[in-house]
Structure formats: C-alpha cells, structure tokens
Amino acid sequence: MLARRQSLIIGLVVVSIFVTSCKKPEPQGYRVVAYDGRTKEWTIIDSDIDSETNKTHRKKLIVVCKSYKLGDHDFLKGSDVCDLQVGQLISTFIPKKDADREHVFIDASDNQLYIARGDGDQKIVQFFDILKYEMLPDEK
C-alpha cells in the first residue's frame, strides 16, 4: 500500500513538472499589458520568434497616444484619444484576406509607433510616441 502511494505521488510530481515545463510560447505581435490612467501611458510587449534559434525575443514599449483617426474624419489629438484594450494582441502577421487585422509599424528613428486596422471609412489609425524601449530577457 505504501509503495503504491509513493509511486502515485512520484508519478504526479513527474507529470506536473512536465506540464509546467511545456509552456506555450507567447504569440508573435504586440500585447497590450497595462494602461496607467494617471500618466496616460500604455505598456506593450513586442514578441517575435527567431526562426534560427527558436527563441522568443521580447521588447517592452512604454507609449503615450499622440493621435487617432477614423476613416475620413479629422485626426483627434491628445494623450487620451487612442483606443487599445489591455490584453489585446496586435498581430504583425496579416493574411491578405483578413483586412480587419491590425497593422503595426515602428519608426524607431522618430520613436513613433503606428497602429492601423480596417479599411476605407472603417479604417482606424493610431499614432503613439515611444517613451521607453527596453529589451527583455529571451524566452525559449
């Protein structure tokens, strides 16, 4: 009886170690992880997988909204006009048939983040100033 219990406990420990070590990699793209309503700053994690090493490279961006535009309307300017959702993943892989997916461009020379999604009169364009850009430790 005692030997059977010990075997069961050892088996459960082995299974739990296996399950925790098989962590699913973060999808590639930009994940909105936080918003500070006081400072109007968004925290975004940029994740991409290196095809040669299979490691996930992550960068943390702290950004503040500069402007927002819907379709043919005028740009709205200010730190509180952009519309992101904490937890939202903004994919950088855009299949041609999927026009509603977000498009992300970074102009590092001007410290700008540009996010666009949709098309025509439903196209939303948002510009952010990058306040901080930090490399995070790689993940396997």
Give the pLDDT confidence of 99-111 residue by residue, as tens digits: 555 567 666 568 8
The more confidently predicted of residues 24 and 57 is 57
pLDDT at 123 over 60: yes
For 52, phi then psi, to 5°, come to -85, -45
Looking at this protein, which amino acid is placed at residue 102?
E
Collapsing DSSP to helix, strand or coil, 116 comes out as strand
pLDDT at position 41, please? 97
Residue 94 CB partners (closer than 8 Å, separation 6+): 101, 102, 103
